[in-house]
Structure 1
Amino acid sequence: MSGEPKPRTPPAWWFSDKTPPWHARLLARIYAGAVALRMRLLRMGVLRTHRLAVPVIVVGNVTVGGTGKTPLTIALVQRLRDAGFTPGVASRGYGRQDESTPAWVDADTAPELGGDEPVLIARRTGARVRVDRDRVAAGRALIQAGCDVILCDDGLQHYRLQRDIEIEVIDGQRRYGNGQLLPAGPLREPAERGARCDFRVLNGGEPGFGEWPMRLQHDLVQPMRGGRARPLASFAGQRVHAVAGIGHPQRFFEMLRTQGIGVVPHAFDDHHAYRAADFAFGSELPVLMTEKDAVKCSAFAKDWYFSVPIAAQLPEAFWVGLLSRLASIREPT
């Protein structure tokens, strides 16, 4: 529809062989200098860092945009709990109304107050979730609440909080794009930063040396007005309105197409604050949306609106390696 919000798209040169414009290259050099200065001040101890009393696992990415961090964080919570830990999740809560105020997030928290990703994590896992710009303060609050391991969602560049394990998540389709720093490219830090992480997880695509493959399983869909889940494959041969307000909407649309579903795509900005008017598509085809989007649309969902949950699947060897690393942290030497 003509009134549908148009999502911001990355510059064409980020993921192509086009040369970035001169002003983007100039700004990238300034940004590179700022990144290098920050790292130097951290190494010199001018910028203080803080260690928590329990292990900290950071999940993040070197690039801008969605790579699959939230499904991996959910899987980490579930696997750590199975191993006997009491994990808590620290997040900034990007997109919530008042990002300056720390808050606890649970399954009933409104997404506009807790942030869409933290609410989704709380609903899927039941773990304690704390949103705070200050990840150190969030971690301390989680420890006081009884957590014995902290998962920091999207915190790779939040260096004030010392970490014991770093996990980089990589988009297997786009990887590092043109390999340049912002705004000439999609990189928050130089690409070699990822090589310093303890684990590198590849979301889709063929893993290279030192990369762990992650597959996102999406077998079922959940009616948003309640009722029994049904197979995603049951929509094969049908046309649907597909809604995605995530970092890389095309990934969701392509996943549906691989199931033989006729996709009418509707891409929105990441963390978009949905209104009922956004769904005035002009036809009552089934509406399929990502689970992250669905948490913000339950108040006005129709009978033909469906959420598509995903689950991160990783090799068992990844979990063995992670738990082994976690067990060795701070052991007496």
Structure 2
Amino acid sequence: MNKIEQSWYKNFSFLTLVLLPLSGLFWFISTLRSVCYKLGLFEQFKCDVPVIVVGNISVGGNGKTPFVIWLTQYLQQHDLKVAVISRGYGGTSEVYPLFVDSSITTAQAGDEPVLIQRRLGCPVVVGPDRKANIKLLNTNYDLDVIISDDGMQHYKMGRDIECCIVDSERRFGNGFLMPAGPLRETTKRLKSVDLVVENGGADNFNYQLQASTLLNVATGEKTEALLDSGHAVSAIGNPARFEKTLQNSGVKLLSTAHYRDHYAYTPADFEKYNDEIVIMTEKDAVKCRAFAKPNWYFLPVDAKPSTAVINKLNLLLKEKGILNGL
């Protein structure tokens, strides 16, 4: 985390004061843009297939991906054909839109889309042009729902349901817009969102992360051995939550290493560990599989939404005609 990001989670700092004028400019431009879409001055495209956006109002990892995976599986359990679109942050492809399959690397598509595709096996398309992503999906599949991983601020894209994920620990930082703070939009935006879900915390509308069995990074197989210690490595928005989960499961952390979110690992990053055990997140593992050692492991986690979240989601899905009989 760089100095600017560190300042976001302090009550106030000199750096915050310096950056406030830029935040004012950011607010003016983003508000003007939003108003132009509301007034119809900027054209918004509407998809024939219902679109559910899972996003946030702050930068950094808030826990969208676990909720996207859960939501996709939940809709599939109701016999709906679901696909996922994403910007593909961190990936660089020569061709967009890009279908993500087993041959696509995180360098091409980004870590989260690759993780989602490997977990779910559903159609996943990445690219900066969400309209083109949706068009490609509709050309190749007969879909019932499209889930947009992020895109709350992409007002050009019409949407039927908006789900905003909030990190219960970091929440909205110092409450300022970028770059003085972590917010993409003010917290007033939450009033227009269909469903606000806390990642962790005690709010009625929350989901808890449930850790699964450690898997081998290289093979994806379960480990039968109980690991009592290891080096924790992560490139996610909130590494403290991952490390706490490991400790609560009885793993002694020999060391911790934090990299920026979506960091592209190289073998050199792990040379200091020699042949010792390394434990990482699932998002990290998809980037390290090609050069992983036999004693590297990752911890899959699953989102477990509260009853309040499921009930509200069912109501929204029924209102939009996506699911009937709920």
Q: TM-score, normalised by structure 2?
A: 0.92
Correspondence for 1:70 = 65
CA change 1:12–1:113 in 2 (3 A) is closer
Q: Unaligned regions of 5+ residues in structure 1, if any?
A: 1-6
Which sits farther off after the overlay, 104-113 or 173-182? 104-113
1:215 equivalent in alignment to 2:205: no
208, 227, 235: which one aligns with 1:235: 227
Cα distance in 1 for partners of 2:91, 2:273 equals: 30
1:244 equivalent in alignment to 2:234: yes
Which sits farther off after the overlay, 194-203 or 317-326? 317-326
Correspondence for 2:54 = 59
Cα distance in 2 for partners of 1:39, 1:94 equals: 23
91, 94, 117: which one aligns with 1:122: 117
* Equivalent position SS for 1:277: helix
Q: Deviations over 1:117-152 (max 9, x none)?
A: 101000000110011111122122222222210100
Give yes or no for contact 2:113–2:126 (8 Å, CA) kept in 1: yes
1:197 equivalent in alignment to 2:193: yes
Correspondence for 1:44 = 39
Correspondence for 1:254 = 244
Give yes or no for contact 1:93–1:99 (8 Å, CA) kept in 2: no
Cα distance in 1 for partners of 2:179, 2:162 equals: 25
Correspondence for 2:147 = 151
286, 293, 317: which one aligns with 1:295: 286
176, 182, 187: which one aligns with 1:186: 182
Give yes or no for contact 1:99–1:133 (8 Å, CA) kept in 2: no
CA change 1:23–1:231 in 2 (3 A) is farther
209, 219, 224: which one aligns with 1:226: 219
Aligned partner letter, 2:191: A
Aligned partner letter, 2:258: A
* Equivalent position SS for 2:103: coil
* Equivalent position SS for 1:89: strand
Note the C-alpha offset of 1:228.
4.2
Correspondence for 2:319 = 328
* Equivalent position SS for 2:232: strand
Which runs of at least 4 in structure 1 moved beyond 3 Å after TM superposition?
7-12, 19-22
CA change 1:84–1:10 in 2 (3 A) is farther
12, 15, 35: which one aligns with 2:6: 12
Cα distance in 2 for partners of 1:170, 1:96 equals: 25
84, 93, 96: which one aligns with 2:91: 96
Cα distance in 1 for partners of 2:77, 2:307 equals: 14
CA change 1:181–1:100 in 2 (3 A) is farther
CA change 1:254–1:10 in 2 (3 A) is farther
Which sits farther off after the overlay, 165-174 or 268-277? 268-277
Give yes or no for contact 1:24–1:183 (8 Å, CA) kept in 2: yes
* Equivalent position SS for 2:180: coil
Correspondence for 1:280 = 271
CA change 1:99–1:182 in 2 (3 A) is farther
Cα distance in 2 for partners of 1:150, 1:118 equals: 14
Cα distance in 1 for partners of 2:136, 2:161 equals: 20
Correspondence for 1:309 = 300
Cα distance in 2 for partners of 1:99, 1:326 equals: 37
Q: Unaligned regions of 5+ residues in structure 2, if any?
A: none
CA change 1:167–1:231 in 2 (3 A) is farther
Give yes or no for contact 2:58–2:182 (8 Å, CA) kept in 1: yes
Q: Percent of aligned positions with the same letter in both sequences?
A: 38
* Equivalent position SS for 1:280: helix
* Equivalent position SS for 2:6: coil
Cα RMSD of the aligned pairs, angstroms, is: 1.9
Cα distance in 2 for partners of 1:116, 1:89 equals: 14
* Equivalent position SS for 1:202: strand
Cα distance in 1 for partners of 2:56, 2:215 equals: 29
